[in-house]
Every structure is written in C-alpha cells, then in structure tokens.
Amino acid sequence: MLLTKEPTSNTPIGKLIREVFIPWGLEAAFIDMTDLDQVHKGVQANTRLILVETPSNPLLKITDIAAVVEIARQAGAWVLCDSTVATPILQQPLNLGADLALHATTKYLGGHSDVLGGVLVARQESLLWERVRFLQRNGGAVPSPFECWLATRGIDTLPYRMRTQAENALKIAHFLNGHPQVEKVYYPGLPEHPGHQLAARQMTAFGGLLSFQVKGDQSHSMQVAARLRLITRATSFGGTHSLIEHRASIEEPGTTTPENLLRLSIGLEHPDDLITDLDQALT
Ligand SMILES: *Cc1c(COP(=O)(O)O)cnc(C)c1O
C-alpha cells in the first residue's frame, strides 16, 4: 500500500497510480500530507511507501519531511520525497531521513525549458533499489546522452539561478499580496502562509514558484494572464524565463484547484520588470 498527497490524483504520477498500478493490485490512499494526524491514521499494516511532495504543486503546501519519516519508521515503510519544486539546493530530503528523493530535471535542474527528464536518488543500496535500477534499464526509462548533457549544463548554474529566482519570487509575492485585484497569494516565504515556519526550518530559501488567485471568475483570471507581455503563458516551470499558467484548465474536471488561480514561475528577469508587467495586466 502507498500513501500519497491528495492532489496527486490529478498529476501524471496520480494517473499512473489510479489507472495502472491500482488495477494491478496496488492499494493507495490519497491524503493531505500536511496533516500529520491523517498520515498517522492512513498508515496500514501493509503500507510500504509514503510519497511526499513538498513544496507541493500548485498550492505550495509544505509537509514536514522528518515527521513523516518518523511515522514511516514505526510502520516499516519507506519515504519518497518529490523535491522538484525545491531542488537539492533548497531542500535535502535524504538528510532529513527520506529513503528516496525525486526531481524532475525538466524543471530547475535543466533550468532552460529544453529537456524532459527526472532523477531518483536513494540514500543507500538495497535489494529494492537494485529492483528499481532493473526496472529503469529494462523498462527503457533511460535518457539519451544529449538530454544528460543538457541537464548537467543546467546544474552548473543551479545554485545561482535558485538564489536569484527565490529572491525575486519573494519580492513578487509581497507585491501581489498587497495588490487590490489579488484575492490570495500562495508562497511559503510569506509569514501568513501556514507552512512558513516549517519551510524556514527545512528549506534554505522559499523557491521560485508561487500561485495566486485573481479577484473574479475563471475568465477574468485568464484575461489577466493573456495581458502579460514579459511573462509567457505556458505549462511547466523552473526555466530562466518567467511562465504563467491557468492551472485548473489543464487539470482534470473536478479538480480542487480554484478556478481563478494562476501559477507563476519566476525566471531571471529583473523583478521590477516582472512587477510592472503584472501590475499592468491586473489593473
Ligand atoms: C513537473 C513535475 C514532475 C514531473 O516532471 P515532468 O518531467 O514534466 O514529467 C514531477 N513532480 C513535480 C512536483 C513536478 O512539478
């Protein structure tokens, strides 16, 4: 049995769990990982893996990795942390006790919106890890030399990009938070974010990704995104160029993502230029 965060059911990982692994006999429970009581209650005798995604996409919820590891240890389960939004620069799940860390190289590691890939890292060798390697090799999830080259080229500048993108995201989160046309901002760097204290403990900065709700309905928030000139409308995040996405319309019907929510990936442009662009689009 697998425990995983609730909105995961809308992501590619969630679709694989629901449409492939559950029909094969895997049991899975989708729960709110930020609520440790729920994690406790969700663990069953046959739970083998707890999948944590922190910060989460797109609501930037923060889960206490060390606390989940503690619960998993008592149950004899492994913890896999999807740390894509944080990157290894801002958060190190293996040092907090997680058994596995997952990163999409598609996002900040590649960093230039030109590679698709991912890495899975284990804290130590084990029979299960050998099995994962076997499945990767024989299942064909093997990147080409060019994709590896793109990823390693990106990693060279990762610490410097993360530092700047996190600094800029914090400025933009404060700007949006004070804007009369904005209903709510989701960014762990804001003191009122429910995961702020925890993020300050388990991360070295709050990252370059944030979401916000525009006052009004879905079509109004989509118009705001369409009026932006410097920030491009596109899915994905983590590149040098700022991107914005109307999240609910790319998720499945019945998504819990608010209809007026825009997700913003802050790139390396000057923060004042981004603020000017957002201000003209909102007003
Ligand atoms: C994008 C993303 C992935 C998957 O990355 P792709 O390479 O786009 O398939 C996994 N986890 C999180 C948290 C992501 O944001």
**Contact call for residues 207 and 56 (beta carbons, < 8 A):** no
Q: Which two tokens stand for residue 104?
A: 């999409």
Residues 80 and 4: their CA atoms lie apart, in Å, by 10
Other C-beta atoms lying within 10 Å of the C-beta of residue 201: 11
Best residue among 13, 57, 211 to mutate for probing ligand 1's pocket (most ligand atoms within 8 Å of CB) is 57
Q: What is the pLDDT of residue 15?
A: 86
The residues spanned by each domain of the chain are 2-155, 158-282
Q: Is the link from the previous residue into 58 a cis peptide, with omega within 30 of 0?
A: yes
Quick: pLDDT tens for 83-134.
999 999 999 999 999 999 999 999 999 999 999 999 999 999 999 999 999 9
Tell me which architecture the domain covering 158-282 has in CATH: Alpha-Beta Complex (3.90)
Q: Which ligand 1 atom lies nearest to the CA of residue 107?
A: 1
Q: Which ligand 1 atom lies nearest to the CA of residue 84?
A: 13
Phi, psi of 215 (to 5 degrees): -60, 135
Best residue among 4, 11, 53 to mutate for probing ligand 1's pocket (most ligand atoms within 8 Å of CB) is 11
What is the side-by-side strand order in the sheet with 182-186? 182-186, 209-214, 261-265, 243-246, 232-233
List % helix, strand, coil for the chain (3-state, nearest 5): 45, 20, 40
Whose tokens are 């060798």? That residue is 125
With a cut of 50, list the residues of the chain below it in pLDDT. none
Q: What is the pLDDT of residue 152?
A: 97
Tell me which architecture the domain covering 2-155 has in CATH: 3-Layer(aba) Sandwich (3.40)
Q: What is the pLDDT of residue 7?
A: 62
